[in-house]
Structure 1
Amino acid sequence: MSTATPYRRLSHRVRALPGLLARAPWWVLVAIGTATTALGLLLAVRPLSSLTVLGIYTGVSCVVSGLGDLIARRADRGRLSLLTGIGWVLAGVAVLAWLGRSLQLLGPFVAGLLVVSGVVRLLDLRRGPTSERLLAGAFGLSEIAFGAVAWLWPDATLLVIAILFGVRTAGFGLSLVWRGIRAARRPSPAPTDATARRPGSPLLRWAAAGAVLLVAGATLAVSEQFRQGVPVLDGFYDAPDDVPDEPGQLLRAEPYDGVLPEGLVAYRIFYTTTADDGVPGLASGVVAVPEAAEGPVPLIAWAHGTVGVARACAPSLGRYAITPEGMPAMDALARNGWGMVATDYIGQGTEGDFPYLIGQGEGRSVLDSVRAAHQLEDLDLAPETVIWGHSQGGHAALWAGQLAPTYAPDVDVVGTAALSAASDPLALAELVTDHPGALGASLGISFVLAAYSWTYPDISMDDVHPAARTLVEEAAARCTGDPGTLFTVLTGVAVSQDTPILRADPSTGAVGRRLRENVPLGPWPAPLFIGQGTDDEVIVARLQDDYVARLCAAGRPLQYTTYAGRNHMGVLEPGSPLNADLEQWTQDRLAGLPQQSTCP
């Protein structure tokens, strides 16, 4: 026993750095405290950096703790003590080894640690006074609840951990400064182990336990509410055993019971298309036509904007695939006798890789939806098609319009309208690099990186900063309409001023090359209309101006109309003048009238 005592004291001192510093000279405390406070404040506002430091701290702490156990318990010769020490060392080495690739394990590690700690507390309730057991039970249940939340929301958990780590570091530094100042004014005896371990007021402990349990329960309840309402895929979207090679083949259809503009009836469709690598693929969508149509019905092919990149984000899964909310001139459909086919694109609803801002995949999905709609029984559709698209869908519309003559010459496209279009993905990436704090910028980066890594072999998640990889992957697994996306947006804003999400400038390397490939430059055989709000907070008007000037310089005739005071979604609101302009422009296209170009 006497032989082990020095080693036990060494282990105790290794784990009690604050206590050792408390015995240092006052000026040492002030110096170290000031530096630690500055570091903590810096980490608190730079969460990605904080995660990296926390990962290093966690790894080193595990190794030191394990070595301390091995040294202190060397004389015990106990197998459990040996395994515990070795386990801590191996855990620390594993954390440090993975830092260079990702901090994804940190969230599950924290979640597992909280759950295990809570379970251990509950298992230990058999001993001690009743009051102590009740307190331990409250803290144990709260730890399990927080562990469950950490497992469900790893991106938000990592952010909270990072910020709290910075705040705690700053708090520790301030305490050292305060101790140093007090020691300089009136030296006091060093605290003993007895005073250091003195328990707090029972009333305070009960209040703390109740508060922690209440917060844990509320957090778990809120997180469960956030998880509700996520669309669930049904059998309609199941892939058949044999997928036809020919694109645009209607495989199945059924009535669509979602909310529709007045005077329309709709069907959900499931059809073949072509994946970006040229192999057959599957897509879904909704076709809506006037209930009392007289004569053949011209089709509007609608390309929806950003809703996410996950399979469950398909608009046809919900009740608002074709709706006046977020879609332009919807009242014009029944009034003019127009139908609409709204694709989900490949990979939403159906299996496959969603082609977010990948022009070939987007454009093919749009054109094949028109082909499939014409195969619906009991519908009399005219051959003329006008393509509309907004935001990401504007990018898809531009690509569909330029691909039509070569990919789908049987689809008679008489006009393409791109509204608030993400027309130049490369310029958007450069804008996000210059303004990383823009609301939703992290979502856009995450969606692009996920989709591009699925499609292009020269792009992978290794292009993402290790500390941000969890953020990107969690964002790619959610839809913009999910309440949980709020976590992603807030996390993205919080990390925006820290280490960039991408390792390198997105305008360079493989990412930049692929973005450049997906800028649609035409030509467009049919007339082209581009509409843009001057106050757009997502697609900045300057970027659209530059894109239009580039097309005009290349000899691409088009009509470019801007809408003063309208933001990204404001151009689509019922009171926006774009609606009347788009209706008149579409009427002119279907009438075969020429378009006057606004290019100089």
Structure 2
Amino acid sequence: MRLARALLALLAFTAVVAVSPAHASTLGKGTLVRVEALTGNLKLAGSGPSWRVWYVSSAWNRQPTVISGTISLPLGRPPASGWPMISFGHGFGGVADSCAVSRTGGAPGERTLQEALIGAGYAVAVTDFQGIGTPGESPGVDGPSAAYAMIDIVRAARRLGPVSRSWLPVGYSLGGHAALWSGALAASYAPELAAKGTIALAPFTQWQLQVGSPLVRDPAGAASFVVPYSGRALPITHDFRPARWFTRKGLELIGLAGRLCVDEMVAAVAGLTNADILKDPVAASDEFVRLFAEEEAPLTGYTRPVQLIHGTADTLPAVFSEITTGQLAGAGLDATYTPVDGADHFTLLPAVAADVVTRAEAFFANP
């Protein structure tokens, strides 16, 4: 079986449609539906066989779905047990299919970290998450489905190449939130795999503090690019009616959220206030607090250590990671927080790439 996987890796086959996505409900989690070779600038520097893949996972409503992503193997001969695997949760880039990182190649800082991991001998898988790059809408912030996507791409990788059952969820920004959920659900959702721990880099946590912030509640405050995306996703997963909460301009932005990636949405909301897009920012904030309460980082389920890393100059306050770490430790978990002096949300990953490799080595060294 291991030899067969190795041969598949060497072949790097392209555009093989194995099964229609409509038949996903009949397939096991992690089943590959389609595989294409990655080429050009989509391929990580220093990587060996690399693919864009479509695989079966679980949607926000726990029904089978097909999700896309990428799988990259290092150069050279794999260890006898296969390449140890990093499942990387990327930062939020938008929900349109054109924003899928398997199509864009991902943000420069994320690639820097992924290439450092590839160079250190780790296979790297990056999911696009549900509804981004594949049919259907993205559920936005849904911790369990994001975790399932990160876990099932490890299963998919093991069907494709010589990949170990030992793996590590590493995530950045909103992907850091997904990594925390992955660490909490790994043992119950995929007991045949061996999650070695969790690393969350500048993760989105403390949702109630974020969406209940004065920055959201102040009618004169600058509108956030995140709010239109939330207005688009919440009706999918909750009984949420945007017309009750959003102005005409806000509803227009919700429509644009289905087509614009983050940089474009930032430009679209520039100069707008909360009152321009929300009918009653205070009441809307209260509703967001209620709906996002279930998205707080889990405090149970982890079987291995959890590490949070956050830049002190991040506009996503580092204190959120500090609070979350304290809550995890208070629940009896092996949780640590590392502040990175002077790093902001965009300079953090290049600053800590070498450190993350060292941390990964320590995680995988533990039996």
Same fold per superposition (TM over 0.5): yes
Matches within 5 A, 1:245-284: 245=26, 246-259=28-41, 260-265=43-48, 266-284=50-68
1:496-543 deviation line (CA, Å, top 9, x unaligned): 46574665534534x333200011223211111100011111x21222
Specify the alignment match of 1:422 in structure 2: 204
Task: Flag the 1:506–1:338 CA change in 2: closer, same or farther, 3 A.
Answer: same
Matched with 1:442 is 224
Match for residue 455 of structure 1?
Answer: 237
State the partner residue of 1:529: 307
> Within 2, Cα distance between the matches of 1:478 and 1:375?
34
Distance 2:304 2:40 in 1: 32
Classify 1:238/1:443 alpha carbon distance in 2 versus 1 (closer, same or farther; 3 Å): farther
2:348 to 548, 567, 571: 571
Compute the displacement of 1:384 (Å): 0.7
Structure 1's 349 and 470: CA in aligned 2 closer, same or farther, altered over 3 A?
same
**Equivalents in 2 of 1:532, 1:237: separation in Å?**
41
Select 2:116's aligned residue among 321, 325, 332: 332
* Higher relative contact order structure (alpha carbons within 8 Å, sequence separation ≥ 6): 2
Secondary structure of the corresponding residue to residue 530 of structure 1: strand
Give CA-to-partner distance per residue, 1:379-423, whole Å, 9 cap, x none: 211111011111110011111111111222222110111101002
State the TM-score, normalized to the length of structure 1. Answer: 0.54
Could you say what secondary structure the match of 2:34 adopts? strand
Q: CA deviation at 1:239?
A: 5.4
The residue type paired with residue 124 of structure 2 is M
5 Å-filtered alignment, 1:107-186, equals none
Tell me the distance in 2 between the aligned counterparts of 1:463 and 1:542.
33
Cα distance in 1 for residues equivalent to 2:283 and 2:86: 38
Structure 2 unaligned regions, length at least 5: 1-14
In structure 2, the residue corresponding to 1:360 is in which secondary structure?
Answer: helix
**Equivalent residue letter for 2:286:** T
CA distance 1:582–1:388, change in 2 (3 Å):
same
**Count of matched residue pairs:** 345
Between structures 1 and 2, the one with greater helix share: 1
Read off the aligned partner of 1:316 and give its amino acid letter.
S
Corresponding residue SS for 1:350: coil
Given that residues 534 and 562 in structure 1 are in contact (C-alpha distance below 8 angstroms), is that contact kept between their aligned partners in structure 2? yes
Q: Distance in 1 between matches of 2:224 and 2:72?
A: 34
C-alpha deviation, 1:548, in angstroms: 2.3
Select which of 345, 360, 363 maps to 2:144.
Answer: 360
Moved over 4 A (4+): 234-239, 434-439, 501-504
- The change in CA–CA distance for 1:531 and 1:236 in structure 2 (over 3 A counts) is farther
Contact 1:261 1:324 in 2 (8 A): no
Deviation, 1:579, is 1.9
Q: Secondary structure at the match of 1:242?
A: helix
Deviation at 1:551, TM superposition (A): 2.4
Q: Max radius of gyration: which structure?
A: 1
Q: Does 1:285 align with 2:61?
A: no
**Identity between Structure 1 and Structure 2 (%):** 26
TM-score (norm 2): 0.86
Tell me the residue number matched to 1:584. Answer: 358
Equivalent pair of 1:398/1:423 in contact (CA under 8 Å): no
When the two chains are superposed, the root-mean-square deviation of aligned CA atoms in Å is: 2.6
Q: Which has the higher strand share?
A: 2
Go from structure 1 to structure 2 and tell me whether the alpha carbon gap of 1:383 and 1:586 turns closer, same or farther (over 3 Å shift).
same
SS of match in other structure, 1:325: helix
Structure 2 contact 19–34 (Cα < 8 Å) conserved:
no
* Structure 1: unaligned runs, 5 residues or longer: 1-233, 594-600
Contact 1:289 1:339 in 2 (8 A): yes
What is the CA–CA distance in structure 2 between the aligned matches of 1:350 and 1:235, rounded to whole Å? 16
The whole-number CA distance in structure 2 between the counterparts of 1:390 and 1:564 is: 17
Structure 2: distance between partners of 1:239 and 1:309: 23
SS in structure 1 of the partner of residue 298 of structure 2: coil
